[in-house]
Every structure is written in structure tokens, then in C-alpha cells.
Structure 1
């Protein structure tokens, strides 16, 4: 007997009628980029995560770059500033930092969760450190309450790469995408959807998905 690692057909089966209706509406509307459906999704997903805003872009790398470039425009980052990043993250997290002319500082993960180890983060903070990029892996949230405290104590930006944590929550109900100053969430089929609760309680978000 063959058991599929991920059967997306079975996952999507209960939602086929709604998905087909939405696809028909989308095609008949003639809007293949932006449009009312995108605007409706942005508002709905912002409400779902509890954020004020959600902006759709083409992919997760662009979303992260827009965040860092936006903070440069706001004067909260400048070229050469250091950003703490998990050493075991996907390359896009690092590329977003380097392509924004910032310097990634790699920190080893907690061996129990594979997410950033807050105690190790503390040892890597220097006078040039200006941001922490927390990457939630395998549906598990990084220890955002601890990272938020570190960021607050050192006046650092706290950015979420929440591409693998759709719907994950802290015990106070706050979801991934609403646990730092800004966040990225990506929608492609292999991303994880695992609700997860952190045992301790702890802003705009950029969402990316493939566009036609």
C-alpha cells in the first residue's frame, strides 16, 4: 500500500465547491494581479492574524526585502547594520538581509525546537545589532515572548519569517504574523499548517503567494 507523504487532493477535497466558485469568480472578473479578491483576502487575513494591515506581494523573499528596505526608509535601519538570523533557516531569509545591504549574524538554534535560542541571541548582540529575524520552523513558533523581551531591552526590531507557521498561536490567542514589528507569511503547497501553542504569552504583515 502506498501512503503519500502529502495528499493535497485529499486536503482540498472538502473545499472544492468553494474553491471552484472562487476560481470562476476570479476568472470572470478578469483581474489576474491585484483586484477586489486580493483586497478582500488582505483584509480577511489581517483580521485573522489580528494585524492592522496585510499587503500581498509576489514571494517571501520580496516580502522580507520590502520589510528591511522599508525600515531603512523610515530611518530605523541603515546599510551595514546587523540582523540576527537562525543559522538553520532557508537561504531566502539570509538573502533578504544581504540584498538589503545589511549583515546577517548567524545564531545556532535551540536543539529541542530548531528555532532561535534566546540565550544564544543575547551573546551575539553588538553595538551594530539592529534587528532579530525570528524564523518559525515546522509549525512551531520561536520563543517570541523571550525574543520580544530581548528586542525591547536592546531597542531592536523583531521581524517574523512566519512562512511555516500559518495559524500557530501563543496561549493568549495571538497568531503568527502578529508577534513582532512586522512579519512575512508565504502560501505555497509545501508550507506547514500546524496550529501550535506556546506555553508563555508574549505588527503590519506582508503576505506572499504565487500570482498567476
Structure 2
């Protein structure tokens, strides 16, 4: 499968505040020195099923990593988060990213030592068929590039959020990556960045999210943990 990586020119202000940019735009998320050293190497990826089965919330919960350092118990999400965004294209982008139309959604938080105020989260959204998951992923990809920035009407203490394209690691059946970056505080002195890697694994779309502030602590979601989660989903859909 061939992926085309499309880049959007970075906003100059982002390069000043984001320590994550100092690792180089061509570095894969999780591949730098600011990833948790406690995550074990992934096992070889099993061959996916030619006809992946849909998963319900119980199956999603059973397919989350439980023994990784920093892993919190996974939970079923009952409601999608709501962001008051005026731009309809950006509103669609956020809804697709959050799995608003999924049949079941499970989230799992990760807390690592020496990670400051940052946090890691995976969101697993299950769909009724491979074709439905493919369609949602294609819509998400298009919506990402139609939304260069957005503002949350309910947030008066931060700047607009810039959507920055990233090179995607080869995870799952298809993947994309982007950063959501904005400055915080009335003086806009703190830069917060959410690094996202979104991958489709059969009938499931996973959003791996890592938050950092001023590039401190762990910047990217570890690739070995992403690969392990993909493996669990491949096995669960057989």
C-alpha cells in the first residue's frame, strides 16, 4: 500500500514554542529519546484475518494492553466529547477523530513517570464492517486537510489550535498523523501540543494521543505500544 505524505507549512510561532519540532519532522512518533523506556519491544505482527469481524465494547476492552508500565484500566466511553467549534469542516474533523458514529468506543489512559503534566490516551472506535471503517477513515483524512486551524468558543485562555500534518508510522491497515498545537494562558507563554497517530485495524479505528507542554517530558506516543495494541486488535478480529 502506498501512502502519500502531504505537508502543510508550519506556522512560525509553533517552531518557537514546540520542543517536539526539535526532534525533526521526519522522525516517526515514539522513535525519539523522549519515549518511555519501560515499554517492551512488540512481538511480530500476526497475519490479519481476510474478513475481520466487528467488535463490541466487551471485545474492545479485552483487546487493550493491561500489563504495560503506566497503563490504566480501559473504560467504555458512553458519550463523545463536545467541542464548540464554529467551522463545520473542523467540527466534522473532530467528530470523526473522536469516533462519534462508532458502534462502541473504549478509551485507555497511560501515565508515565517523569512525564510532567503530559498524558497518553488511546481511543478505540469499533465499526460494523471493514467498509464502514474504511469510509470513516477516508472522511477523517479529507477532513484533516480541510481544517488548518480552529478555535473552541468555550475556551478564552488559549489561542487558536493549529492542525499540523505529520508523517505517519506504518501501523495497521492505514494510518495518518497530525499535531494539534496551541498556546495557553493570557500571555500565551505555554505551548501545548497533542500528537495524534490514527490507524485503522480492520473494523476498528484507533487514535493514539500524547500531550506535552513546551516539548517537555515524553512527546510522542511510543511506537512499540502502538504496535502491541494493533496486534491485540488483529487477534481479536479473527
| TM over 0.5, shorter chain | no
Larger Rg: 1
Give TM-score, length-normalised by structure 1. Answer: 0.28
Q: Which has the larger helix fraction?
A: 1
Q: Which has the larger strand fraction?
A: 2
